[in-house]
Amino acid sequence: MKKDFLAIPDFTTEEIKQTFQLALDMKSGKIKPLPLKDKAVACIFLKPSLRTRISFEVGIAQLGGKSLYITKDEIGLGERESVYDVAKVLSRFVNMIMIRAFAHKPVEELAKNATIPVINGLTDLLHPCQVMGDLLTILEHKGKIENLKIAYLGDGNNVTNSWLNASTRFPFDFRVGTSPDTKPDQNIFEYAEDMGLSKITLTSNPREAVEDADVIYTDVWASMGQKDKAEQKRMILKDFQINKELLKFAKKDCIVMHCLPANRGEEITDEVMDGPQSVVFDQAENRLHIQKAIMVQLMGGR
Ligand code: CP
Ligand code: NVA
Concatenated DSSP letters of 63-113: TT-EEEEEEHHHH-BTTTB-HHHHHHHHHHH-SEEEEE-SSSHHHHHHHHH
**Whole-number Å distance between alpha carbons of 163 and 139:** 15
Distance of alpha carbon 46 from its chain centroid, rounded?
A: 17
Among 4, 10, 100, 214, the one annotated catalytic: 100
**Whole-number Å distance between alpha carbons of 225 and 103:** 10
Instruction: Indicate which residue's Cα is closest to atom 2 of ligand 1.
Output: 51
CB 186 within 8 A of CB 246: no
CB 163 within 8 A of CB 174: yes
Name the DSSP class of 151. E
Q: What is the pLDDT of residues 74-101, one digit of tens each?
A: 898 999 999 999 999 999 999 999 999 9
What is the pLDDT confidence band of residue 169, given thresholds at 50, 70 and 90? Answer: very high
CB 72 within 8 A of CB 86: no
**Whole-number Å distance between alpha carbons of 264 and 160:** 19
Distance 134 CA to ligand 2 centre (A): 14
pLDDT exceeds cutoff 80 at 261 = yes
* Among the bound ligands, the one closest to the CA of 98: 1
Look up 100 and say whether it is catalytic: yes
Instruction: Indicate which residue's Cα is closest to atom 3 of ligand 1.
Output: 52
pLDDT exceeds cutoff 80 at 47 = yes
Backbone φ and ψ for 49, nearest 5 degrees, come out as -170, 145
Residue 77's nearest CA partner among 106, 98, 56, 53 is 106
Distance 149 CA to ligand 1 centre (A): 25
Give the nearest ligand 1 atom to 259 CA: 1
Name the DSSP class of 268. B
**Whole-number Å distance between alpha carbons of 301 and 298:** 7
The pLDDT score that the predictor gives to residue 210 is: 98
Distance 219 CA to ligand 1 centre (A): 11
Within the chain, all domains assigned CATH 3.40.50.1370 are found at 8-127+287-298, 129-283
Instruction: Specify the fold of 129-283.
Output: Rossmann fold (3.40.50)
Name the DSSP class of 238. G
Establish whether residue 219 lines the binding site of ligand 2, counting it when its CB lies within 6 angstroms of any ligand atom.
yes
pLDDT exceeds cutoff 80 at 302 = no
Look up 289 and say whether it is catalytic: no
Establish whether residue 100 lines the binding site of ligand 1, counting it when its CB lies within 6 angstroms of any ligand atom.
no
Q: Which CATH number does 8-127+287-298 carry?
A: 3.40.50.1370
User: Between vectors from CA 5 to CA 218 and to CA 214, what angle results, nearest 5°?
Assistant: 30
